[in-house]
Chains A and B, each alone.
Chain A
């Protein structure tokens, strides 16, 4: 019989996201990871320590975090299988549900599109600020649309495809170990002097964990748009990250847009190569098109998951 847990978790997330009332009452597991990492950083990321020592502390912090997460998730999974029997997949799906972000990603990006369509640049900047790291105050409407499209492509990979991939490979422990790594990467996996040593382990772990999911996401986007192959293949390596370039180049190719490129952060011009050809002035209509590609990619993903489970 097919294990229904992955499809159930996908359906729960697609239908409800992670509802506000649940967030208020029980928070989100990612919040626990953040607490742990904050404490670990206070203890291990000390400026006066050598690079090697701080990197060692970062490795130990990641190992402890993964040990805690994997043991807890394994216990829950086994507990469910022992106590609930045939109903275990439902409990496992419930526990996997907050690890997926199909709906919240869609909602966030749709908010940006709506704000742009209604002409509210300030609202659009605020909305896109929730999903991307760059300083959004200086962006014009094209810049906002581009930032939203880039975030959508990257997040399809690291907030949907990757957690699902690790769920299929390693069950609940796989999924939550991935979420812990990904959270750690976004919190401490920075390249600046303060974090480079301590965040090294988190950044490398995230690179490895996303290796296959990122390429799979690019493939899904190209399939969904029936285009973009050439750009994905040729331009993926132009991204500074070994993974993000795949979904981003696929999106650039499918939308015939020019993403990335030279950018100014804090008044300093940063050298980034262009990803994609065509124009760089993304429009709200192209953002809507990107959302449709996203939905189609998800449909393909569900079918793929179904086929994978059926084949097992």
Chain B
């Protein structure tokens, strides 16, 4: 069996896969990342001032635009160069001890100096910080809003950090409206996944202003590039594209479910951007797909898991179907 360690870190190890499977038919299809394959189309004439440092008011305008999209007061929103960096900074602020929900996105287990895994969110220590993703990654398990509110209510003392990186497809499940100066709730929102522009490196932290103040201080001046500001402002105001993308992703996810089910593969999860297969066939399946130049996402600690992102188009769906069928 192939060792998967190299690409089970995060998604996106396409180059590595190309070297490891040199005989695979070109071009590769990357389904390893759980990102919208149809990125928001960045206009060619989008005005980006590369010469000057971004102005404070431009950053504020981006945060205001994003706040409107999240449905929260702009004072509780801070733009960050990707949530990856933000959660590590915040982990250091509210740590050192902290808990992470399982299954965990790898970074979640690394942000606290003294980290413990919480097998169940309800049993986590209510006095200690807790980070988890909703919907969860990689299994896509979605904690219903009502259950989430009850959990937050129980956890009045300890900080609760919820990674809503994949919440954009079902905005009603977000608890952004619960952000409040006195409550110890932090939300992480990602730009790159839903808008399919992970390279922009843009994310947002929603939290009480006292915490945001510390975060801004830790990041220093000009945390966000002019390009990210311009793209973010335009994308978050493109309501039509946002609505269409949601419909499209849910439809494509259903198509993916059907395709996998036809091969006897049952998927879990409520997030349309990826599906998790839990099966003994998962490990050989990774190799089988890679030999056909389709990269998926295996997990070291769970060899029976395989996460599959949304194929972009008809062609990609057909190649996935072929690769799954042919052995």
Contact = CB atoms under 8 A, between A and B. Distances in A.
B149 A261 contact: no
Interface stretch (B21-29, B30-38, B181-189, B223-231): B181-189
Contacts of B181: 142, 280-281
Interface string B151-195: 001001100000000000000000000001111100000000000
B170 to A, nearest CB: 22
A99 to B, nearest CB: 36
B41 interface: no
Contacts of B153: 274, 277
Contacts of A271: 127, 156-157
A272 B156 contact: yes
A27 interface: no
A165 B127 CA distance: 40
A271 B127 CA distance: 9
A211 B184 CA distance: 33
Nearest to B149: A277
A272 B183 CA distance: 12
A279 B157 contact: no
Interface in B181-221: 181-184
Contacts of A279: 180
B157 A262 contact: yes
Interface string A265-292: 0000101111001011100000000000
A258 interface: yes
A261 B182 contact: yes
Contacts of A281: 180-182
Contacts of A280: 180-183
Contact of B156 (A142, A261, A277): A261
A271 B180 CA distance: 17
A273 B156 CA distance: 6
Contacts of A261: 156, 182-183
A280 B156 CA distance: 12
B321 to A, nearest CB: 48
A115 to B, nearest CB: 21
Contacts, number: 29
Interface string B3-14: 000000000000
A258 B149 contact: no
Q: Size range of the interface on A?
A: 10 to 19
B interface bracket (residues with beta carbon within 8 Å of A): 10 to 19
B180 A258 contact: yes
Contacts of B156: 261-262, 271-274
Interface in B105-155: 127, 149, 153
A262 B127 contact: no
A262 B182 CA distance: 8
A265 to B, nearest CB: 14
Contacts of B182: 258, 261-262, 280-281
A273 B152 CA distance: 11
A262 B127 CA distance: 11
A281 B153 CA distance: 16
A159 to B, nearest CB: 27
B149 A262 contact: no
Nearest to B127: A271
B198 to A, nearest CB: 34
Contacts of B180: 258, 279-281
| Interface hub of B156, B180, B182 (most chain A Cβ within 10 A) | B182
Contacts of A277: 149, 153
Nearest to B126: A271
Nearest to B184: A262
Nearest to A263: B182
Interface in B12-61: none
Nearest to A274: B156
Which has the most chain A C-beta neighbours within 10 Å: B127, B149, B181, B184?
B181
A274 B184 CA distance: 12
A261 B181 CA distance: 12
Interface in A102-144: 142
Contacts of A273: 156
Contacts of A269: 157
B158 to A, nearest CB: 10
Interface string B63-83: 000000000000000000000
A248 to B, nearest CB: 15
B262 to A, nearest CB: 45
A271 B157 CA distance: 6
Contacts of A142: 181
Contacts of B149: 277
Contacts of A258: 180, 182-183
B180 to A, nearest CB: 5
A72 to B, nearest CB: 46
Interface in A222-277: 258, 261-262, 269, 271-274, 277
Contacts of A274: 153, 156
A281 B149 CA distance: 18
Nearest to B183: A280
Interface in B234-252: none
A272 B184 CA distance: 13
B125 to A, nearest CB: 12
Interface in B272-321: none
Interface of A: 142, 258, 261-262, 269, 271-274, 277, 279-281
Interface of B: 127, 149, 153, 156-157, 180-184
Given A274-B156, A281-B181, 9 more contacts: A142-B181, A258-B183, A261-B156, A261-B182, A271-B157, A272-B156, A273-B156, A277-B153, A280-B183
8 contacts: A258-B180, A261-B156, A261-B182, A262-B157, A277-B153, A280-B180, A280-B183, A281-B181
- Name the 5 nearest CB pairs between A and B, nearest first: A280-B182, A280-B180, A271-B157, A274-B156, A273-B156
